Amino acid sequence: MMDQKFRNCIEACLACGIACNKCATECLNEDDIKMLARCIQLDRQCSVICFAAANLMSIGGEHASHLCAECAEICRACAEECEKHAAMGMDHCKECAEACRKCTEACEAIAS
Amino acid sequence: MMDQKFRNCIEACLACGIACNKCATECLNEDDIKMLARCIQLDRQCSVICFAAANLMSIGGEHASHLCAECAEICRACAEECEKHAAMGMDHCKECAEACRKCTEACEAIAS
Amino acid sequence: MMDQKFRNCIEACLACGIACNKCATECLNEDDIKMLARCIQLDRQCSVICFAAANLMSIGGEHASHLCAECAEICRACAEECEKHAAMGMDHCKECAEACRKCTEACEAIAS
Amino acid sequence: MMDQKFRNCIEACLACGIACNKCATECLNEDDIKMLARCIQLDRQCSVICFAAANLMSIGGEHASHLCAECAEICRACAEECEKHAAMGMDHCKECAEACRKCTEACEAIAS
């Protein structure tokens, strides 16, 4: 019923939504939160859109294109921000950036 | 902080998400569900996207345009389907169609 | 940071939320939807609570117990309903029932 | 179909979910975020549970009691934290605390 492209995207969105939630929580436990404020803000938006995209695609795929376009865009912004902190040794940002990159790719395959 | 256009859209999305959930539940209590299958399916998708849009806009507006474009599109499809059944006397479809029309308008104001 | 019990439960909740959404969509494509109305209604409720539980647990575990208690209860009710239809050959109900049973167990481990 | 108690609770949950999202975003724009880390963390959890409760209650009320019990508990914790910062002049925390108090009351009316 649902083809492989949708299955991949649902899985990538769920993994990304979870990674973003965990990253934001761990950012809030760091010493210098101010430096991470943009990261937390993007994590929160990314989590909302990722769960919504997975939810919508598992109900039906006919309206997924715009939502996946938006999801890819937010994931890319979140990955870029997380990568800055990953380079400074923050593992939660590294994991989150990887999940965001995979999700960007999977969403672009649906959006296009 | 958030301008009036966003406030209106958040309110319209929440009202529409609730109306869609109630409409689907009441459709499932009708005698001829088969005739309402498309309506229930659109209600489910519309509810997911409306709650996600309200959620995202209340976190921050910078990524709302694509999501609101999608939301407007699903709301319009749901309104059109519900209006068919409203014309046959189904009050939950009438209420849902009205909420969907308002939400379409509010989302288009953000998306454009 | 998050222990294995939470990881298992998050995974089970996400798989169950997706299975419920797919089951409801496929129920709406069956010939005798009326017989499946209770199943669709439980699928919808189960999906909402499963995604919320996964979302909440990935933010933080300190408030998960009541929510997981509720999730276990809805999943059990959904599994019981789906198993009736699975016995009559409906594969989407069979898959959904299995996901619901796993999620019930994982949520009970958190709730207790 | 849905009685007044549920209508009140749905409305209170939606208002609270939105207030929590806005509070967290505005906390992230303050100078001393570290002092607000617990507030942001509770806002995030409160928002998830409030939207889930409103979503579930609008689908059907038969499984709402545990979820509303949890929602009342998180809202109370969030209100207590926000009230500390409201006393120091933060308006977003004041608004959020008020929405959380109303939601606690409305959820307790369902849970009991």
How high is the pLDDT of residue D38?
97
Give the one of C10, C25, C26 whose C-beta lies nearest to A18's C-beta: C10
Chain A residues near residue C2 by CB distance under 8 angstroms: 22
Residue A43 · residue A72 · CB < 8 Å: no
How far is the C-alpha of C60 from the C-alpha of D1, rounded, in Å? 35
Q: For the ranges B28-42, D26-40, D60-74, which has the lowest average pLDDT?
A: D60-74
How high is the pLDDT of residue C100?
98
Asked if B60 lies within 8 A of A69 by C-beta distance, the reply is no
How high is the pLDDT of residue C51?
98
Chain B residue at shortest CA distance from C22: B41
Cα-to-chain-centroid distance, residue C72 = 8
Chain B neighbors (3+ CB pairs < 8 Å): A, C, D
Chain D residue at shortest CA distance from C40: D59
Give the confidence band of A1 by pLDDT, cuts at 50, 70, 90: very low
Q: Is the pLDDT of residue D43 over 60?
A: yes
How high is the pLDDT of residue B3?
86
Q: Is the pLDDT of residue D2 over 70?
A: no
Residue B70 · residue A70 · CB < 8 Å: yes
- Mind listing the domains of chain C with CATH numbers? 4-111 (1.20.1270.360)
How high is the pLDDT of residue D56?
96
How far is the C-alpha of B105 from the C-alpha of B12, rounded, in Å? 9
How high is the pLDDT of residue B57?
96
- Summary count for chain A: helices (H), strands (E): 4, 0
Chain B residues near residue D24 by CB distance under 8 angstroms: 59
Task: Please work out, in degrees rounded to the nearest 5, the angle formed at the alpha carbon of residue B71 by the alpha carbons of C70 and D19.
Answer: 55
Q: Identity (one letter) of the amino acid at D40?
A: I
Query: Which residues of chain C are under the pLDDT cut of 70?
Result: 1-2
Chain C neighbors (3+ CB pairs < 8 Å): A, B, D
pLDDT, chain A, mean: 95
Q: How far is B112 from chain D (nearest CA, A)?
A: 23
Chain B residues near residue C28 by CB distance under 8 angstroms: 37, 40-41
Cα-to-chain-centroid distance, residue A28 = 18
Asked if B41 lies within 8 A of C28 by C-beta distance, the reply is yes
Asked if A60 lies within 8 A of B52 by C-beta distance, the reply is no
How far is the C-alpha of C109 from the C-alpha of C34, rounded, in Å? 35
Give the confidence band of A65 by pLDDT, cuts at 50, 70, 90: confident
Query: Which residues of chain B are under the pLDDT cut of 70?
Result: 1-2
Asked if A47 lies within 8 A of C26 by C-beta distance, the reply is no
Asked if C55 lies within 8 A of A17 by C-beta distance, the reply is yes
Express each pLDDT in B60-71 by its tens digit. 988 888 899 999
Chain A neighbors (3+ CB pairs < 8 Å): B, C, D
Chain D residue at shortest CA distance from A29: D37
How high is the pLDDT of residue B112?
84
Chain D residues near residue A40 by CB distance under 8 angstroms: 28, 40
How far is the C-alpha of D103 from the C-alpha of A70, rounded, in Å? 32
**Cβ-proximal residues to A82 (8 Å cutoff; 6+ apart), any chain:** A23, A39, A42, A93, A94, A96, A97, A100
How high is the pLDDT of residue B68?
94
How high is the pLDDT of residue A28?
97
- How many CB contacts within 8 angstroms connect chain B with chain D? 42
Chain B residue at shortest CA distance from C23: B41
What token pair was written down for D58? 């609008």
Reduced to 3 states (helix: H, G, I; strand: E, B; else coil), residue A33 is: coil
What is the percent of chain A with per-residue pLDDT over 70, rounded to a whole number?
A: 98
Give the one of B45, B63, B70 whose C-beta lies nearest to A45's C-beta: B63
DSSP assigned state of B64: H
How high is the pLDDT of residue B1?
41
How high is the pLDDT of residue C35?
96
Asked if D66 lies within 8 A of C67 by C-beta distance, the reply is yes
Asked if B25 lies within 8 A of D60 by C-beta distance, the reply is yes
